[in-house]
Amino acid sequence: MKIATYNVNGVNGRLPVLLRWLDESQPDVVCLQELKAPQEKFPEKAIRDAGYDAIWHGQKSWNGVAILSRVGEIHETRRGLPGDPDDSHSRYIEAAINGILIGGLYLPNGNPRPGPKFDYKLKWFERLIEHAAELLGSGLPVMLAGDFNVMPTDLDVYKPERWLDDALFAPEVRAGYFRLLDQGWTDALRTMHPGETIYTFFDYFRNAYARNAGLRIDHLLLSPVLADRLVDAQVDRDVRGWEKTSDHAPVWVELADKPKRRRKRAAAYSATITISGARQLG
């Protein structure tokens, strides 16, 4: 089973790119972020014509998340994180598909820091951490997939010294990410590519894509049950080079149908990244 996350940066404006990628990559399930479209403007027909069912949580001009599936019915379990009934941002959607519970998320950017946007980011992240603990406690196969707007370590950002004051690289934000991992989640992409420079986002400015001057901010976190089924995790980097494309590249994992023997390198990486993060933050 192939599950992907993709910040499309405008689902209608980038629809040809999205449809082309769906056709070429053939993911089974996709979490989308930054739809930038109200509920009634989501391109449902085009998505269904491409072979995918969909649920979505839209918002005019900003935010917006969706989950697509071509391998089974989508049973929506939640839209919006618990903990703040007044939160109007469309940033979280959750569903059970083909035996897996998937939470699709778009964590706030948080800039400028300090300020109210950064405060909102930290509060939203706390709500995510609390909900993630409950999901893990269920014992079900669960995945958190999306744009986390977090670069966990120096390896995840081109020239980290330039990002020290940015909300995506703030110590509090990175600490939140490691608190998630410490619950028992596995960072799929980094587990499959330990020590490797691998990015998921390239700014439109300063020829960032051509220079490989990127960030790793799109993550796929697996519960222990799913981590035992991890076969591969990759970035479809070339999609970022297509015409009129998003500034993010799609990221995906491949899962075996049954649990596999736990990889030694995955277990070793889990310990290594936690220690590395603690050193950088401490």
Q: What is the separation of C-alpha 182 from the centre of its chain, rounded to a whole number of angstroms?
A: 18
**76 with 93: CB under 8 angstroms?**
yes
106 is catalytic: yes
Catalytic residue among 52, 92, 106, 199: 106
Query: Distance of CA 212 to CAs 38, 69, 198, 215, 278, Å?
Result: 33, 31, 9, 9, 27
Distance CA 255, CA 253 (A): 6
Largest CA distance in the chain: 51
Residue 80, number of CB atoms within 10 A of its CB: 18
187 is catalytic: no
Which structure tokens are listed for 254?
A: 């491949």
| H/E segment holding residue 192 | helix 188-192
SS3 281: helix
**218 with 7: CB under 8 angstroms?**
yes
DSSP-assigned states of every residue in 119-184? HHHHHHHHHHHHHHHHHHHTTS-EEEEEE-----SGGGBSSGGGGTTSTTS-HHHHHHHHHHHHHT
Catalytic residue among 52, 92, 147, 247: 147
DSSP-assigned states of every residue in 181-214? HHHT-EEHHHHHSTT----SB--SSTTHHHHT--
Q: Catalytic residues, which ones?
A: 106, 147
